[in-house]
A and B are shown apart, each in its own frame.
Chain A
Amino acid sequence: MTGAAILADLGERFGGAIVETHEAHGDHTVVVNRDALEALLRHCRDAPALAFDMLTDLTAVDYLKYPGREDGPRFEVVYHLYSLRHHHRLRVKVRVEEDDALVPTAVPLWPIANWLEREVWDMFGVRFDGHPDLRRLLLYEEFVGHPLRKDYPVNRRQPLIGPQI
């Protein structure tokens, strides 16, 4: 399936829940409402024509001071999907506000999402509803804050490891 056909198929099925779609350099992206995310991901994995059986990456973006995005939802969680059967790709994004940074988990769909979601929680502070074990992955339990947030001071010292400034 071509990227445009994938977007058309998703638009037909999830029309109302899709915020926007776009295509850049041959990569196709669909931005979806959080309520429909789980169903859309499940459809992407299970529909024979799509068969996105591989979650290549799951990450997040902080748009705190991004030009033109100052007022919109702060975080975007990004899913990169790949189909080993059809050799096509899709990028799925979901936008969440800072005070409601909660996204349904993708662990039942792709087990690799377990660690990827833990990394996103660790670095951005976005929580995943239904995750079996949402602990920090790269940093340690005593770490205060989420360092890849744009408002995390670059030279902040952590309480466990000084010196305090």
Chain B
Amino acid sequence: MGLGGFFTSKLDTAIGWARKYSIFQYPFVTACCGMEYMATACSHYDIDRFGAGLPRFSPRQADVLFVVGTISHKMAPVLKRVYDQMTEPKWVVAFGVCTCTGGFYDNYATVQGIDTIIPVDVYIPGCPPRPESVIDGLMKLQDKIATGAQRF
């Protein structure tokens, strides 16, 4: 490896380290999982410890799209548009079974997993997931961000 390769790989590491502690999330909250998301985001569990404490309610200012709750067919184009509006680098977290697979809503109105619409980086199952699971998922996302394993 030449000096240039050494330098860029170290630069990527530094950028990854910086990015993993400055997660600006966009909470796309549609259903009951939102309660559990709020519990996680508030002071008791305090996701600010992971640098993810500041939600941005504009997709253009966000890095991570938190999809929280059931996505219906009619909501699907909205979700796709929000994802498209986010600037790169961007990551997506599927929060709860409804966003992972559709959950028990195997019916005519519900999207069977948001990965049929947009790419997903971390799946957090649960109905709703406990805050511990959310924090675990967030830390897995941090690892992914730090190692640059995401695709743009």
Contact = CB atoms under 8 A, between A and B. Distances in A.
Contact of A152 (B108, B111, B112): B108
Contacts of A2: none
Interface string B69-97: 00001101000000000000000000000
A157 interface: yes
Interface in A109-165: 139-140, 143, 147, 152, 154-158, 160-163
Given A140-B74, A161-B73, A156 B112 contact: no
Contact of A162 (B74, B108, B109, B116): B116
B106 A158 contact: no
B107 A154 contact: yes
B111 A156 contact: no
Given A139-B74, A147-B108, A160-B73, 6 more contacts: A139-B108, A140-B74, A143-B108, A154-B108, A158-B108, A163-B116
Contacts, number: 32
| Interface size band for A | 10 to 19
Given A154-B107, A161-B111, A140 B73 contact: yes
A139 B73 CA distance: 8
Contacts of A156: 108
Interface residues of B, number: 12
Nearest to A140: B74
A156 B107 CA distance: 7
A71 to B, nearest CB: 28
A43 B106 CA distance: 44
A161 B80 CA distance: 12
A147 B73 CA distance: 13
17 contacts: A139-B73, A139-B108, A140-B73, A140-B74, A147-B107, A147-B108, A152-B108, A154-B107, A154-B108, A156-B108, A157-B112, A158-B108, A160-B73, A161-B76, A161-B116, A161-B117, A163-B112
B111 to A, nearest CB: 6
Contacts of B73: 139-140, 143, 158, 160-161
Q: Which of A147, A156, A161, A163 has the most CB of B within 10 A?
A: A161
Interface string A33-51: 0000000000000000000
A162 B74 CA distance: 13
Contacts of B107: 147, 154-155
Nearest to B74: A140
Nearest to B116: A162
A154 B116 contact: no
Contacts of A161: 73, 76, 111, 116-117
A143 B74 CA distance: 11
A163 B117 CA distance: 10
B130 to A, nearest CB: 29
A139 B108 CA distance: 10
Contacts of B111: 161
